[in-house]
Amino acid sequence: MKNKLKRLAGYYRPYQGLFLSDMFFAVLGAGITLAIPLLVRYITSHVIVLPGSEAMQMIVKLGLVMAGLVAVECFCNFYIAYFGHIMGAKIEHDMRNEIFAHYQKLSFAFYDNQKVGQLLSRVTSDLFDISELLHHGPEDVVISLIKFIGSFVILFRINAALTVVAFAFLPLIILYAVYFNKRMKRAFKTNRARIADINSQIEDSLSGIRAVKSFSNEEVELKKFRAGNEQFVESKRRSYWYMGWYHSGLGALTTLVTVAVLVAGAGLITGANMDVTDLVTFLLYINNFTEPIKKLINFTEQFQNGYTGYERFLEILAVEPDIKDAPDAISIASANGEICFDNVSFKYEEKQDTVLSHIDLHVNAGDYLAIVGSSGGGKTTMCSLIPRFYDVDGGRILLDGVDIRKIKLEDLRRQIGIVQQDVYLFAENIMENIRYGRPDATDEEVIRAAKLANAHDFIEQLPDGYLTDIGQRGVKLSGGQKQRLSIARVFLKNPAILIFDEATSALDNESEKIVQQSMEALAKGRTTFVIAHRLSTIRNAKKILVLTRKGIEEQGTHEELLAMDGVYAKLYHG
């Protein structure tokens, strides 16, 4: 925990000036709070016994002094409220950048086992609680300690016996707080997990709202959501149970301090061991004694929220990217596109079956290779290994004779363009979605890429042309239109290697024909891997690979494979 807290404190480093000024005004404000009751005591014990006019003049002067102190205290409170929150927001901004950048480094293997809603909660609610802790925590602790220690010193000098009465409750308050604090921490951690589950459920349901409505399964989604929501309420109930006892018990104990001081003070006055003026001052300071206790109690709750969120934040940062640049990785400006699979084996997780086993394959630069086979045979997996979405478990993959693990990831993936069946388009206009293929491209280059992908004509017919908003994931476009935009992206990227992953399998015949023409235009002069569902679309491929769970069972041209009368022939005629 010590190392975690030290690391957490490091987020203040860029804002040292802001942090120190925030602490300065926190200390100044706390000091003024302690000074005002002393002035009241001076007035009630010394000033009021002066002759009438002299007393009045002194009261006015001291009144103005106290008004000035209140104004300074007001400014101090404004400063720590405004600039303190600004500092917290900046730290939250830095931490959000850090975790989002880390998300970008993690591989497909990580996202295969995660829910987007849970990842989102670590970027939003968790970081907000952390920033609140980093902002309020130090100043609350400093203010509370100054008031607490200052009150003790002043009260002890006024009347030691009554101070002992007041502070006798302190061990009981601490024990009570520690007992419920531990239970609250566990409850808050459960709450974090529950709200992350709810976020994930909402994200999943809303993302698939068309599927939900097409099956009339709104009630099914409501039942799933209500179940998760009830679990969240139950975890909240437990945390509120402990919180209720925590606050009510501590509130009662701090009130008992005042009662005990009042009773003991009255006894001392009766025995002529204390002045009424001192008791009044004592009661004024009791608030400065009990308020810090309450603030420290609130801090412990805030600490539980913030520190729990911080632990979840660190959990993500602790996940090492399993796919990253080797220390001796080289840069490549461009590639010819020669690909070689050398005895490649792969499985997704340790306990799962091997998906690819001892694959040997050589593809010359500019070759057009089609990959076919039954579902689950490893076609998509095989192509996903080329851009290192996953790393091989055995063997190696070479690009132009170089192990792809020895090439910088950014350079490797810049050489590869992928068109998938499930096209992902961002909630932007068409121009920006195509430009995603090369963010520094000019508008003219984007339009040229759209023309090459047979997309320009339909884009021009849209209400705002290239500036048309296409909705979340391109819902305002047809499947063929979305596919042509994804091809335009790859035209703009201009890679040496292409991967078409069943890019036309979900299209109607007319759309498939148009997209097929775009794909063929894109494939010219590039090393191309085509994962085909419809075998009619790859009859002209230079080489066809038949991939099954046993590995590469057959390879050759369309005619050669039909002549073998093997797996391919059955797939073709079946």
pLDDT digit string (tens) for 412-426?
989 988 888 778 888
Average pLDDT over residues 310-333: 87
Examine the pLDDT at 214 and tell me if it is beyond 70: no
The confidence band for 524, taking pLDDT boundaries of 50, 70 and 90, is confident
Examine the pLDDT at 260 and tell me if it is beyond 80: yes
Examine the pLDDT at 508 and tell me if it is beyond 70: no
* Distance, CA of 438 to CA of 460 (rounded, Å): 21
- pLDDT at residue 505 in the model: 64
DSSP 427-451: SSBHHHHHHTTSTT--HHHHHHHHH
Handedness of CA 184, 186, 192, 197 (dihedral sign): negative
| pLDDT tens digit sequence for 144-196 | 889 888 888 888 888 888 888 888 888 888 788 778 877 877 787 777 777 77
In order of start, what are the domains of the chain with their CATH numbers?
A: 83-317 (1.20.1560.10), 339-573 (3.40.50.300)
pTM, full prediction: 0.71
| 8-state DSSP, 505 | T
Average pLDDT over residues 223-250: 81
| Residue bearing the bigger pLDDT, 293 or 76 | 76
Average predicted confidence (pLDDT) for the chain = 84
Q: At what angle do helices 116-123 and 276-317 cross, to 10 degrees?
A: 140
| pLDDT tens digit sequence for 30-58 | 899 888 888 888 887 777 777 878 888 88
Residues 6+ apart with CB under 8 A from 34: 146, 147, 150, 151, 154, 288
